[in-house]
Amino acid sequence: GMFDVSHMLGLDLQGSGAKAFLRGLIANDVAKLQEAGKALYSCMLNPEGGVIDDLIVYFLSDTEYRIVVNAGTADKDVAWMQERLAASGLEATLTVRRDLAMIAVQGPNARAKTWAALPGTEAASAGLKPFQAAIVGEYFIARTGYTGEDGFELTLPAGEAAATWAALTAAGVAPCGLGARDTLRLEAGMALYGNDMDETVSPLDAGLAWTVDFKDETRDFVGKAALQAQGTRQQTLGLILEDKGVLRSHQPVHTAQGVGETTSGTFSPTLQKSIALARLPLGVAAGDQVEVEIRGKRLKARVVKAPFARHGKALV
Protein backbone atom coordinates (compact mmCIF):
# COMPACT_ATOMS: atom_id res chain seq x y z
CA GLY A 1 0.00 0.00 0.00
CA MET A 2 1.00 3.64 -0.38
CA PHE A 3 0.29 6.77 1.58
CA ASP A 4 0.44 10.38 0.42
CA VAL A 5 2.45 11.99 3.21
CA SER A 6 3.28 15.19 1.35
CA HIS A 7 1.91 17.14 4.31
CA MET A 8 5.19 16.34 6.10
CA LEU A 9 7.96 18.88 5.59
CA GLY A 10 11.49 18.36 4.36
CA LEU A 11 14.27 20.72 5.41
CA ASP A 12 17.83 20.92 4.12
CA LEU A 13 20.58 21.99 6.52
CA GLN A 14 23.89 22.88 4.91
CA GLY A 15 27.11 24.50 6.06
CA SER A 16 30.29 23.95 8.04
CA GLY A 17 28.39 24.32 11.31
CA ALA A 18 25.53 21.95 10.42
CA LYS A 19 26.79 19.00 12.47
CA ALA A 20 27.57 21.06 15.57
CA PHE A 21 24.19 22.75 15.34
CA LEU A 22 22.26 19.48 15.21
CA ARG A 23 24.29 18.04 18.09
CA GLY A 24 23.00 20.88 20.25
CA LEU A 25 19.47 20.98 18.82
CA ILE A 26 18.20 17.41 19.24
CA ALA A 27 18.39 14.78 21.99
CA ASN A 28 19.91 12.03 19.86
CA ASP A 29 23.47 12.48 18.61
CA VAL A 30 24.07 12.92 14.88
CA ALA A 31 27.77 12.22 15.48
CA LYS A 32 26.76 8.55 15.32
CA LEU A 33 25.95 9.03 11.63
CA GLN A 34 29.02 8.18 9.58
CA GLU A 35 27.63 6.58 6.41
CA ALA A 36 26.02 8.73 3.68
CA GLY A 37 22.24 8.29 3.70
CA LYS A 38 22.05 6.92 7.24
CA ALA A 39 19.04 8.17 9.21
CA LEU A 40 18.48 8.98 12.88
CA TYR A 41 15.18 9.33 14.76
CA SER A 42 15.13 11.93 17.52
CA CYS A 43 13.07 14.30 19.60
CA MET A 44 13.67 18.05 19.51
CA LEU A 45 13.14 19.37 23.03
CA ASN A 46 12.34 22.65 24.73
CA PRO A 47 14.46 23.79 27.71
CA GLU A 48 11.99 22.10 30.08
CA GLY A 49 12.56 18.71 28.44
CA GLY A 50 9.20 18.60 26.65
CA VAL A 51 8.99 17.43 23.05
CA ILE A 52 8.64 20.20 20.44
CA ASP A 53 8.54 17.53 17.72
CA ASP A 54 9.89 14.12 16.77
CA LEU A 55 11.78 14.03 13.50
CA ILE A 56 14.15 12.10 11.26
CA VAL A 57 17.60 13.38 10.26
CA TYR A 58 19.38 11.94 7.22
CA PHE A 59 23.17 12.31 7.09
CA LEU A 60 24.47 13.19 3.62
CA SER A 61 27.82 14.57 4.76
CA ASP A 62 29.23 16.46 7.77
CA THR A 63 28.03 19.65 6.10
CA GLU A 64 24.69 18.49 4.67
CA TYR A 65 21.61 16.94 6.27
CA ARG A 66 17.99 16.32 5.26
CA ILE A 67 15.45 16.69 8.10
CA VAL A 68 11.80 15.59 7.95
CA VAL A 69 9.36 17.06 10.48
CA ASN A 70 5.66 16.62 11.20
CA ALA A 71 3.05 18.66 9.37
CA GLY A 72 1.15 20.03 12.36
CA THR A 73 4.33 21.35 13.97
CA ALA A 74 6.19 22.39 10.79
CA ASP A 75 5.89 26.17 11.14
CA LYS A 76 6.72 26.01 14.85
CA ASP A 77 9.68 23.74 14.16
CA VAL A 78 11.15 25.99 11.46
CA ALA A 79 10.79 29.09 13.65
CA TRP A 80 12.48 27.31 16.57
CA MET A 81 15.33 26.02 14.41
CA GLN A 82 15.91 29.42 12.83
CA GLU A 83 15.92 31.06 16.26
CA ARG A 84 18.41 28.53 17.64
CA LEU A 85 20.58 28.78 14.51
CA ALA A 86 20.77 32.57 14.74
CA ALA A 87 21.69 32.36 18.42
CA SER A 88 24.36 29.70 17.82
CA GLY A 89 26.55 31.81 15.56
CA LEU A 90 27.33 28.66 13.56
CA GLU A 91 27.78 28.72 9.79
CA ALA A 92 24.74 26.87 8.44
CA THR A 93 21.66 27.52 6.31
CA LEU A 94 18.23 25.95 6.76
CA THR A 95 16.19 25.65 3.55
CA VAL A 96 12.47 24.84 3.68
CA ARG A 97 11.56 22.41 0.87
CA ARG A 98 7.85 22.99 0.23
CA ASP A 99 8.55 22.09 -3.40
CA LEU A 100 8.74 18.40 -2.50
CA ALA A 101 6.11 15.64 -2.24
CA MET A 102 6.38 12.45 -0.20
CA ILE A 103 4.89 9.02 -0.92
CA ALA A 104 5.35 6.13 1.52
CA VAL A 105 5.21 2.67 -0.09
CA GLN A 106 4.91 0.05 2.65
CA GLY A 107 4.45 -3.71 2.94
CA PRO A 108 6.27 -7.00 2.32
CA ASN A 109 6.46 -6.41 -1.46
CA ALA A 110 6.88 -2.63 -1.30
CA ARG A 111 10.44 -2.45 -2.55
CA ALA A 112 9.88 -4.80 -5.51
CA LYS A 113 6.72 -2.90 -6.49
CA THR A 114 8.57 0.41 -6.32
CA TRP A 115 11.33 -0.87 -8.59
CA ALA A 116 8.73 -2.17 -11.06
CA ALA A 117 6.98 1.22 -11.09
CA LEU A 118 10.13 3.34 -11.22
CA PRO A 119 12.70 1.77 -13.57
CA GLY A 120 16.23 2.80 -12.78
CA THR A 121 15.76 3.06 -9.02
CA GLU A 122 16.66 -0.53 -8.11
CA ALA A 123 20.42 -0.38 -8.64
CA ALA A 124 20.98 2.41 -6.13
CA SER A 125 18.33 1.42 -3.57
CA ALA A 126 18.47 -2.40 -3.54
CA GLY A 127 21.35 -2.40 -1.06
CA LEU A 128 19.78 0.04 1.37
CA LYS A 129 19.55 -1.15 4.95
CA PRO A 130 16.64 -0.07 7.19
CA PHE A 131 16.99 3.60 8.15
CA GLN A 132 19.21 4.39 5.19
CA ALA A 133 18.54 6.51 2.09
CA ALA A 134 19.93 7.04 -1.40
CA ILE A 135 19.54 9.80 -3.96
CA VAL A 136 18.46 8.47 -7.36
CA GLY A 137 18.10 11.31 -9.86
CA GLU A 138 15.34 13.53 -8.49
CA TYR A 139 14.21 10.88 -6.01
CA PHE A 140 15.31 10.70 -2.38
CA ILE A 141 14.57 7.04 -1.53
CA ALA A 142 14.66 6.08 2.17
CA ARG A 143 14.12 2.61 3.59
CA THR A 144 12.01 4.03 6.40
CA GLY A 145 8.34 4.14 7.29
CA TYR A 146 5.71 4.58 9.97
CA THR A 147 3.90 1.26 9.66
CA GLY A 148 6.01 -1.54 11.16
CA GLU A 149 6.39 -2.91 7.63
CA ASP A 150 9.29 -2.81 5.20
CA GLY A 151 9.26 -0.35 2.34
CA PHE A 152 10.37 3.04 1.09
CA GLU A 153 9.53 6.66 1.74
CA LEU A 154 9.97 8.51 -1.55
CA THR A 155 10.67 12.24 -1.61
CA LEU A 156 10.38 13.81 -5.06
CA PRO A 157 9.55 17.07 -6.85
CA ALA A 158 5.91 17.92 -6.26
CA GLY A 159 5.32 18.12 -10.01
CA GLU A 160 6.26 14.45 -10.37
CA ALA A 161 3.94 13.19 -7.62
CA ALA A 162 0.83 12.48 -9.71
CA ALA A 163 2.75 10.53 -12.36
CA THR A 164 4.65 8.57 -9.69
CA TRP A 165 1.38 7.78 -7.88
CA ALA A 166 -0.13 6.55 -11.16
CA ALA A 167 2.92 4.39 -11.91
CA LEU A 168 2.78 2.81 -8.45
CA THR A 169 -0.96 2.18 -8.87
CA ALA A 170 -0.29 0.49 -12.21
CA ALA A 171 2.32 -1.71 -10.49
CA GLY A 172 -0.34 -2.95 -8.07
CA VAL A 173 0.29 -0.70 -5.07
CA ALA A 174 -3.01 0.12 -3.35
CA PRO A 175 -3.70 3.67 -2.13
CA CYS A 176 -4.26 3.76 1.65
CA GLY A 177 -5.71 6.43 3.90
CA LEU A 178 -4.07 7.93 6.96
CA GLY A 179 -6.50 6.01 9.19
CA ALA A 180 -4.81 2.78 8.04
CA ARG A 181 -1.43 4.38 8.68
CA ASP A 182 -2.50 5.22 12.25
CA THR A 183 -3.63 1.63 12.91
CA LEU A 184 -0.35 0.25 11.56
CA ARG A 185 1.89 2.62 13.51
CA LEU A 186 0.02 1.86 16.74
CA GLU A 187 0.30 -1.89 16.20
CA ALA A 188 4.04 -1.26 15.71
CA GLY A 189 4.20 0.71 18.96
CA MET A 190 5.28 3.92 17.23
CA ALA A 191 4.56 7.21 18.97
CA LEU A 192 2.36 9.93 17.43
CA TYR A 193 3.16 13.55 18.16
CA GLY A 194 0.28 15.32 19.90
CA ASN A 195 -1.03 12.03 21.32
CA ASP A 196 1.86 10.14 22.88
CA MET A 197 4.07 13.16 23.50
CA ASP A 198 3.99 16.94 23.26
CA GLU A 199 5.68 19.98 24.77
CA THR A 200 4.57 18.98 28.28
CA VAL A 201 5.86 15.39 28.04
CA SER A 202 9.46 14.21 28.39
CA PRO A 203 10.76 11.56 25.98
CA LEU A 204 11.82 9.60 29.07
CA ASP A 205 8.14 9.36 30.08
CA ALA A 206 6.89 8.77 26.52
CA GLY A 207 8.79 5.52 25.98
CA LEU A 208 11.42 7.30 23.89
CA ALA A 209 14.40 7.11 26.23
CA TRP A 210 16.17 5.10 23.51
CA THR A 211 16.25 8.25 21.38
CA VAL A 212 18.07 10.30 24.04
CA ASP A 213 21.87 10.02 23.91
CA PHE A 214 23.74 10.96 27.10
CA LYS A 215 26.93 9.04 26.17
CA ASP A 216 29.06 12.06 25.27
CA GLU A 217 29.10 13.97 28.55
CA THR A 218 30.68 16.98 26.85
CA ARG A 219 27.74 17.36 24.44
CA ASP A 220 25.03 19.74 25.58
CA PHE A 221 21.62 19.82 23.91
CA VAL A 222 18.43 21.76 24.54
CA GLY A 223 16.53 20.10 27.40
CA LYS A 224 19.44 17.94 28.62
CA ALA A 225 19.67 19.51 32.09
CA ALA A 226 15.91 19.22 32.58
CA LEU A 227 15.89 15.53 31.61
CA GLN A 228 18.76 14.77 33.96
CA ALA A 229 17.04 16.61 36.81
CA GLN A 230 13.63 15.04 36.23
CA GLY A 231 14.61 11.47 35.43
CA THR A 232 11.86 9.05 34.46
CA ARG A 233 8.58 9.90 36.20
CA GLN A 234 6.17 7.71 34.21
CA GLN A 235 6.46 4.89 31.70
CA THR A 236 4.75 4.10 28.42
CA LEU A 237 3.44 0.56 27.97
CA GLY A 238 0.87 -1.20 25.81
CA LEU A 239 -2.63 -2.29 26.77
CA ILE A 240 -4.85 -5.00 25.32
CA LEU A 241 -8.52 -4.68 26.23
CA GLU A 242 -9.99 -7.94 27.52
CA ASP A 243 -13.59 -6.73 27.84
CA LYS A 244 -15.71 -5.50 24.94
CA GLY A 245 -15.09 -1.90 23.94
CA VAL A 246 -12.67 0.33 22.03
CA LEU A 247 -9.65 2.03 23.51
CA ARG A 248 -9.08 5.66 22.53
CA SER A 249 -6.77 8.42 23.76
CA HIS A 250 -7.19 10.17 27.13
CA GLN A 251 -9.00 7.37 28.98
CA PRO A 252 -8.08 6.91 32.68
CA VAL A 253 -6.19 3.70 33.49
CA HIS A 254 -6.58 2.44 37.07
CA THR A 255 -3.60 0.44 38.38
CA ALA A 256 -2.43 -0.76 41.79
CA GLN A 257 0.24 1.97 41.66
CA GLY A 258 -2.14 4.82 40.78
CA VAL A 259 -3.96 6.27 37.79
CA GLY A 260 -2.45 6.58 34.31
CA GLU A 261 -3.91 7.52 30.94
CA THR A 262 -4.17 6.06 27.45
CA THR A 263 -2.42 8.21 24.85
CA SER A 264 -3.35 6.37 21.63
CA GLY A 265 -5.93 3.66 21.07
CA THR A 266 -7.61 1.77 18.23
CA PHE A 267 -8.94 -1.62 17.16
CA SER A 268 -6.10 -3.83 15.92
CA PRO A 269 -6.95 -5.76 12.74
CA THR A 270 -3.96 -8.06 13.33
CA LEU A 271 -4.86 -8.96 16.92
CA GLN A 272 -8.63 -8.55 16.46
CA LYS A 273 -8.64 -6.76 19.80
CA SER A 274 -8.58 -3.18 21.00
CA ILE A 275 -5.10 -1.89 21.84
CA ALA A 276 -3.58 1.28 23.27
CA LEU A 277 -0.39 2.95 24.37
CA ALA A 278 -0.63 4.37 27.88
CA ARG A 279 1.49 6.45 30.25
CA LEU A 280 1.40 4.55 33.51
CA PRO A 281 2.88 4.89 37.00
CA LEU A 282 6.31 3.41 37.64
CA GLY A 283 6.04 -0.10 39.04
CA VAL A 284 3.36 -1.29 36.62
CA ALA A 285 4.74 -4.20 34.59
CA ALA A 286 3.87 -6.30 31.55
CA GLY A 287 1.39 -8.98 32.53
CA ASP A 288 -0.39 -6.79 35.11
CA GLN A 289 -4.16 -6.49 35.03
CA VAL A 290 -5.54 -2.92 34.99
CA GLU A 291 -8.88 -1.24 34.38
CA VAL A 292 -9.56 1.37 31.70
CA GLU A 293 -12.40 3.79 32.35
CA ILE A 294 -14.58 4.06 29.23
CA ARG A 295 -17.77 6.10 29.43
CA GLY A 296 -17.97 5.70 33.17
CA LYS A 297 -17.35 1.94 33.16
CA ARG A 298 -14.15 0.19 34.17
CA LEU A 299 -13.11 -2.45 31.65
CA LYS A 300 -10.35 -5.02 32.17
CA ALA A 301 -7.11 -4.72 30.22
CA ARG A 302 -3.74 -6.48 30.23
CA VAL A 303 -0.43 -4.62 30.23
CA VAL A 304 2.05 -5.64 27.51
CA LYS A 305 5.28 -4.36 26.02
CA ALA A 306 4.88 -2.77 22.60
CA PRO A 307 5.09 -3.45 19.71
CA PHE A 308 1.87 -5.38 19.39
CA ALA A 309 2.63 -6.54 15.83
CA ARG A 310 5.31 -6.16 13.16
CA HIS A 311 5.37 -7.34 9.55
CA GLY A 312 1.79 -8.55 9.85
CA LYS A 313 2.50 -10.90 12.76
CA ALA A 314 1.20 -10.60 16.32
CA LEU A 315 3.96 -10.24 18.92
CA VAL A 316 1.82 -10.24 22.08
Tens digit of pLDDT for each residue in 57-111? 999 999 999 999 999 999 999 999 999 999 999 999 999 999 999 999 999 999 9
pTM given for the model: 0.96
Local confidence band at 146 (pLDDT 50, 70, 90 cut-offs): very high
2-184 belongs to which CATH class? Answer: alpha beta
* SS3 of the chain: CEEECCCCEEEEEECCCHHHHHHHHECCCHHHCCCCCEEEEEEEECCCCCEEEEEEEEEEECCEEEEEECCCCHHHHHHHHHHHHHHHCCCCEEEEECCEEEEEEECCCHHHHHHHHCCCCHHHHCCCCCCEEEEECCEEEECCCCCCCCEEEEEEEHHHHHHHHHHHHHCCCCECCHHHHHHHHHHCCCCCECCCECCCCCCCCCCCHHHCCCCCCCCCCCCHHHHHHHCCCEEEEEEEECCCCCCCCCCEEEECCEEEEEEEEEEECCCCEEEEEEEEECCCCCCCEEEEEECCEEEEEEEECCCCEECCEECC
pLDDT score, position 306:
97
pLDDT score, position 28:
98
> What average pLDDT does range 48-54 have in this prediction?
98
> What average pLDDT does range 193-205 have in this prediction?
98
Local confidence band at 294 (pLDDT 50, 70, 90 cut-offs): very high
Q: Any idea which fold 233-316 has?
A: Elongation Factor Tu (Ef-tu); domain 3 (2.40.30)
pLDDT score, position 246:
95
Location of each CATH 3.30.1360.120 domain in the chain:
2-184
> What average pLDDT does range 123-141 have in this prediction?
96
Location of each CATH 2.40.30.110 domain in the chain:
233-316
pLDDT score, position 143:
98
